[in-house]
Amino acid sequence: YSLLSERLRLKTPPELQCSLFCGGLQCKYERSDCWRIEQRELDVIYSNWITDDLIAMSRPNSAIAGELIELFKKHKVKSIFNLQQLGEHSKCGAGLQKSGFAYDPQLFMENNIYFYNYQWKDYSNISQHFLLDIIKVLSFSLKEGKAAIHCHAGLGRTGVLIACYLLYCKEINSPAD
């Protein structure tokens, strides 16, 4: 996104962001056909393996939940971390379920995939304490199997969490170190 686009997004009321910036019903983060195959490690969704056991992805939706669960089982993904707030991006794609998300978390849990929701407001920062709580739970969950992490697009909050996890738990340093 451009700097101008980001500034406009921050000033736009959340209920208008979807139709103005994401594409509303045609939101590219809600559709796999907008992405090249190399941008979809899990075929049905925009996704990228960051490490052997962490996958970053856009938010799932009810239309692909069944297929995604099968892919999770195939790849031994045991946890899904949702960084969205209830009701977030309500006008993107097919909209939201009764759960307040684009999918029903219960479906994942019924298939032995742990569900964690840490509500992190889009385009905002969180406290160090809250971030460490998420990192500790993520670290614990990875002892059970691989983890999928998503916000809306799978870029901002998702990327920040994964980067912080790698720095804190894996002690990964910059190439200059």
C-alpha separations of 10 from 26, 101, 123, 146 in Å:
21, 21, 7, 33
- CA nearest to 79, candidates 115, 47, 49, 105: 115
* Catalytic center residues: 151
Residue whose pair of structure tokens reads 């304490």 in the numeric block = 129
Residue 129: CB atoms within 10 Å:
7
Query: Which residues, 6+ apart, have CB-to-CB distance to 103 below 8 Å?
Result: 59, 60, 61, 62, 65, 97
Interval 71-108: pLDDT, tens: 999 999 999 999 999 998 888 888 899 999 999 999 99
The β-bridge relationship of strands 146-150 and 114-117 is unpaired
Blockwise average pLDDT, block size 10, the chain, 177 residues: 74 70 71 78 92 96 96 98 92 87 97 98 93 98 98 92 93 66
Residue spans of the domains in the chain: they are 3-173
In this prediction the pTM is: 0.86
- CA nearest to 46, candidates 24, 68, 70, 20: 68
Architecture field, domain 3-173:
Alpha-Beta Complex (3.90)
